[in-house]
Amino acid sequence: MVVKNTADAIVIGSGIGGLSCAALLARYGFEVLTCESHTISGGAAHSFQRNGFTFDSGPSLYSGLSYSPSSNPLRFVLDAVGEDIDWATYDTWGCCLPEGDFPAPIGADAFAEILAQLRGKEAVSQWRKLQQVMKPLGEATLALPSAALRYDLGAIFTLGRYFPAMLPHLGASLQLTGDFAGILEGAVSDRFLLNWLDLLCFLLSGLPAKGTSAAEMAFMFAEWYRPEVVLDYPMGGSGAIVDALVRGIQRYGGELRLGTRVAEILTDGDRATGVRLQNGEVIKARRGVISNISIWDTLKLLDKRAISTTFRQERDRTPPCPSFMHLHLGIDGTGLPEDLHCHYIFVEDWEKGVKAPQNVIAISIPSLLDPSLAPPGKHAIHVYTPATEPYELWEGMDRRSTAYQEQKEARSRICWKALERVIPDIRDRCELTLIGTPLTHERFLNIHRGTYGPEIPVTEGVFPSATTPLPGLLLCGASTFPGIGVPAVAASGIAAANTLAPVHKHLQLLN
Ligand SMILES: Cc1cc2nc3c(=O)[nH]c(=O)nc-3n(C[C@H](O)[C@H](O)[C@H](O)COP(=O)(O)OP(=O)(O)OC[C@H]3O[C@@H](n4cnc5c(N)ncnc54)[C@H](O)[C@@H]3O)c2cc1C
């Protein structure tokens, strides 16, 4: 194989944002090279295998992917490069809440039934009212497809073509600029409903309703509360999505290099011109370098003189969300309850708030939907604290020390406790137990302080765009607009690719 030392575009990192960007760039006809430091691609969304079990390292909650066209930007990328995978669909999660344990079917009517049982008529009527408030907001978010976004004057044509469709929604659009808490004021006062909505916001953005973008929630409501809605799970695990994106990149001539860490973003004069790899190799980019890694990690790759001090200081100061505790378990499935769900959410105490450490736990048992993820008769389980584990507790610890081992046991206890609500004899069933800490997360995901991404309440600002003061350097991924989460990072990758593409090709793709 000939190793190239020049490409039109170099993408740093193969998270979903980077792969989406690379796939579209390749589709637009650019010669694109993606450099990934890990030996597995996908970043937070990679799958890994141990002893015959396939585990998702991160995301497992997906929607709007099993059908097309859909409003999910990741679906747009898969369609653009002619890729798809098999999807399992389901419509119910399990809840383990202070109110009790119950299945929660998704869909507005199904949730109204739960509310009727738990809280009575008044809560149901508030829920119905909220659906009415959210309907026009959801329609407004859908009127402008994220795939039309680009960060140059070409946006006049690509976004402009949707202006007539947007006109009836202009009033609603104004409400989308605030936070979801603002929308809830006056519509919802039921304590449980407020707690539940805080939880949904938190799972989406890492923040409660106060601080979570109303637009993000309007998009979610439009997706989750439409009739006959289902959630999707990729057959083969999250790695199957990653593989599909990589196939799409390669189909259009793009290249992905694994185990290839970028050590520096090179500049010439006032332009980003390529990258230097950790092994010293230099690769030049004719059109641009797109960084898919977090903003803090991107800044580390830039020489002090390469980018304005104001930009560096401002972006470096962005507060990171906390990190994660993970359990990845391979278990014996003999005699498990028949009615287990693929996903559970556990909340210990609403009073502590959804952001409190050791309070909210997410559980995923994807082998219930795709038995190929575990050996026959076994199951693969991922349990985690969703972006609530303080990195500070782990900072500087020696991973071989007894103190580290003891802290691992102590801080993962809440994960076991949550899982015991679902599978009481879980500890006896475990054949494989992997406990991950913020240090594991930082190391395997190569991300600053093992963070989920920037913590930017919409009331304090929006996620920054893909552009930087350094011509030739663009950004995508969870540090970039619209923010954290698989659909969001795919949208950011699309926008970065569009910004490099000629307007006529962008318009063609939108068609
Ligand atoms: C536990 C967990 C559960 C989640 N659950 C969900 C969910 O259910 N649904 C959902 O929508 N979202 C979920 N998310 C969020 C979502 O997974 C992430 O926001 C998204 O995948 C981040 O993608 P990204 O494009 O920002 O890149 P990242 O995933 O951050 O990937 C960046 C890549 O860059 C590589 N890299 C870093 N430095 C270098 C370098 N110097 N040179 C080369 N490569 C480098 C890294 O190895 C990594 O592969 C979850 C996240 C986590 C952690």
Indicate if ligand 1 lies below 6 Å from the C-beta of 486: yes
Q: Which residues pair with 175 in a beta bridge?
A: none
- Residue type for position 366: P
Q: What is the pLDDT of residues 403-439, one digit of tens each?
A: 999 999 999 999 999 999 999 999 999 999 999 999 9
Q: Report how far apart, in Å, the C-alpha atoms of 128 and of each of 131, 133, 204 are.
A: 5, 9, 22
Among residues 42, 45, 79, the alpha carbon closest in space to that of 62 is found at 45
Q: Whose CA is nearest to atom 6 of ligand 1?
A: 59
Binding site membership of 149 for ligand 1 (Cβ less than 6 Å): no
| Ligand 1 midpoint to CA 43 (Å) | 4
Instruction: Return the best residue to mutate from 446, 448, 451, 494 for the ligand 1 pocket (most ligand atoms within 8 A of CB).
Output: 446
Nearest CA to ligand 1 atom 51: 58
- How remote is the CA of residue 293 from the centroid of ligand 1, in Å? 8
Ligand 1 in reach of 17 Cβ (< 6 A): yes
Whether 16 is in the pocket of ligand 1, judged by its Cβ within 6 Å, is: yes
* Residue 275 beta carbon below 6 angstroms from any ligand 1 atom: no
The string of pLDDT tens digits covering residues 338-382 is 899 999 999 999 999 999 999 999 999 999 999 999 999 999 999
How would you write the pLDDT of the chain (511 residues) with one tens digit per residue? 556 799 999 999 999 999 999 999 999 999 999 999 999 999 999 999 999 999 999 999 999 999 998 989 999 999 999 999 999 999 999 999 999 999 998 889 999 999 999 999 999 999 999 999 999 999 998 888 999 999 999 999 999 999 998 888 888 888 888 999 999 998 999 999 999 999 999 998 889 999 999 999 998 888 888 878 899 999 999 999 999 999 999 999 999 999 999 999 999 988 999 999 999 999 999 999 999 999 999 999 999 889 999 999 999 999 999 999 999 999 999 999 989 999 999 999 999 999 999 999 999 999 999 999 999 999 999 999 999 999 999 999 999 999 999 999 999 999 999 999 999 999 999 999 999 999 999 999 999 999 999 999 998 988 999 999 999 999 999 999 999 999 999 999 999 999 999 999 999 999 9
Q: How far apart are CA 151 and CA 137, in angstroms?
A: 24
- Is the distance from CB of 253 to CB of 25 less than 8 angstroms? no
Q: Which ligand 1 atom sits nearest the alpha carbon of residue 444? A: 47
Measured in angstroms, how far is the CA atom of residue 338 from the centroid of ligand 1? Answer: 33
The tokens describing 336, both together, are: 């498990």
